[in-house]
Structure 1
């Protein structure tokens, strides 16, 4: 069992969010739902307090903590994608129901949580020791909203 699990704070939508996330990512599932045995500051007896789930085998928790701790730009999940098809699929799926595009491969889902959808090839390019290639690919990335692997590759190669 993992000793460290990211816990995402929601205002009454933890179960809906967890169900949505497991529908988007392969090898994902809800592992438990914990209900309140009594009324509590953010809800009533019987309400779901905590949902434990896995995304591609990685454990997470979704907590119905109330309105006091909204998501911010300070925390996101970065998803490394094998190819452009995976980038496109995840991008569209996570925007469903009211998400919004940000920039440089970032988006905000309908729950207000931020994601980075990144082609694995970009991660490889960003580790380059060639300053010119690195400069070109960085500029290309900053000009994009959803990342385009082919365009990034063209920029990298000059």
Structure 2
């Protein structure tokens, strides 16, 4: 028996949900397109025959991509946070998601070529910033605030008071 999911984030795209779904599935391990729903009618954002919804699994988490039509861009209020095991994983995701028109922002945030916001965060950041020593935590947070892409070595240096 298959359990029915009850909560799935739905991401509203202007268009190109097939390209976005294929791109995201190629970036993250344990990812795949689960289902594509084609509209049989014309609709406000498109025509009959268009793919309007894609069920997508990214790194084991299910998402729904909706081709909702133009004039509803993503904004900074919604992002997907990616916890990375080390700097090489941070670098890999950062390069993939900023490629072909993506934009670095600040503090580990970026916007990909489809407008989706991402937070690419090394697990070490969470460990260091959550230290019980308030001064160490403050130094890590201050260092992160100066970064665009997070740098694990610089975070560790700030933690150790070497910056």
TM-score range, shorter chain: over 0.9
Whether 1:129 and 2:139 are equivalent positions in the alignment is: no
Whether 1:14 and 2:14 are equivalent positions in the alignment is: no
SS, match of residue 51 in structure 1: strand
CA contact under 8 A between 1:2 and 1:59: conserved in structure 2?
no
TM-score for the superposition, normalised by structure 1: 0.98
Q: Residue 69 of structure 1: CA displacement?
A: 1.8
Q: Structure 1: which 4+ aligned runs deviate by more than 4 Å?
A: none
Name the CA distance, whole Å, in 2 between partners of 1:112 and 1:123: 26
1:56-75 CA deviation, whole Å, 9 max, x = no partner? 11000110001132100111
Whether 1:111 and 2:114 are equivalent positions in the alignment is: yes
1:114-133 CA deviation, whole Å, 9 max, x = no partner? 10000001011121121110
Alignment of 1:1-158 (within 5 A): 1-158=4-161
TM-score for the superposition, normalised by structure 2: 0.95
Aligned length: 158
Unaligned runs of 5+ in 1: none
Name the CA distance, whole Å, in 2 between partners of 1:104 and 1:138: 10
Q: Residue 48 of structure 1: CA displacement?
A: 0.3
SS, match of residue 150 in structure 2: coil
Q: CA RMSD in A?
A: 0.8
Name the CA distance, whole Å, in 1 between partners of 2:43 and 2:26: 29
SS, match of residue 19 in structure 2: helix
